[in-house]
Amino acid sequence: MDLIWEGLRKALELLLTLDPEVLRITLLSLKVSGLATLLSVILGLGLALGVALNEFPGKRLVIALLNTGMGLPPVVVGLFVTVLLWRNGPLGFLGILYTPAAIILAQAVIATPIVAGLGLAAFQHLPPGLRLQILSLGATRTQMVWMLLREARLPLLAAVMAGFGGVISEVGASIMVGGNLKGSTRVLTTATVMETSRGNFDVAFALSFILLLLTFGVNALLTHLQQRERPR
């Protein structure tokens, strides 16, 4: 128990003193996972809409693949992204391996199927005739898509939260493609792993508490967005 209390005390100290290293790691975590989530929302919701609004051969297979993708192991993603970005790899020319951009890419690969899978379920849960109803009221295709997004906003924001939760907490891919380089690619999860391996449990606990706080903060904001404007 002492270790936990010590961790809490240390976390408070690091937060209150605005420890520059901790601040940098926290902000980088937020930036990297935030951008990865944003990318996954654009790609994932686009994919979900494409699958939901169109009939094509193999649709069930695509849905099954998306659902499987929701459980992609981060280390597998880390391995594939590392190979892709390796100096001689297909995307090696980008030169982004061991940079925050590589972590964003890997995390986006992890979050996209989560957002797409849950987003697709959200669209499929809408009443089947809703799309025709919207069109029959004179909406253009863009207006129809916007209205569907609005109607599914509760489960869609849950999908975004799940996507963000998936990447802010993952460590395998971030270490593999980022390298946990101090001042460059060290994020909260990779730093926690490193401090734990070094036996610095108080710092590891402090970083974990900050991670929890950050996750709570972002989800509280998304929940606020999700629940506002609900007419009584």
Q: Which is nearer to other proteins, 129 or 199 (CB)?
A: 129
Using CB under 8 A as the binding rule, whether residue 230 contacts other proteins is answered as yes
Instruction: Copy the structure tokens of residue 57.
Output: 């051969």
Distances (CA, A) of 215 to 62, 83, 139, 141, 221: 31, 30, 38, 35, 10
Q: From the list 135, 145, 149, 222, which residue makes contact with other proteins (rule: CB under 8 A)? A: 135
Contact 172, 189 (CB under 8 A): no
Packing angle of the helix pair 188-197, 201-227 (nearest 10 deg): 160
Q: From the list 8, 83, 94, 139, which residue makes contact with other proteins (rule: CB under 8 A)? A: 139
Least gap, CB of 228 to other proteins (angstroms): 12
Q: Which is nearer to other proteins, 108 or 148 (CB)?
A: 148
Window of 79-87, 176-184, 186-194, 224-232 that interacts with other proteins by CB under 8 A: 224-232
Using CB under 8 A as the binding rule, whether residue 145 contacts other proteins is answered as no
Q: Which is nearer to other proteins, 24 or 153 (CB)?
A: 153
CA 25 to CA 183: how far, in whole Å?
A: 8
Using CB under 8 A as the binding rule, whether residue 58 contacts other proteins is answered as no
Q: Residues of 49-85 as b/e, b for ≥16 C-beta within 10 angstroms?
A: bebbeeeeeeeeebbeebeebbebebeebbbbbbebb
Binding site for other proteins (CB under 8 A): 127, 129-130, 132-133, 135-140, 143, 147, 150-151, 229-232
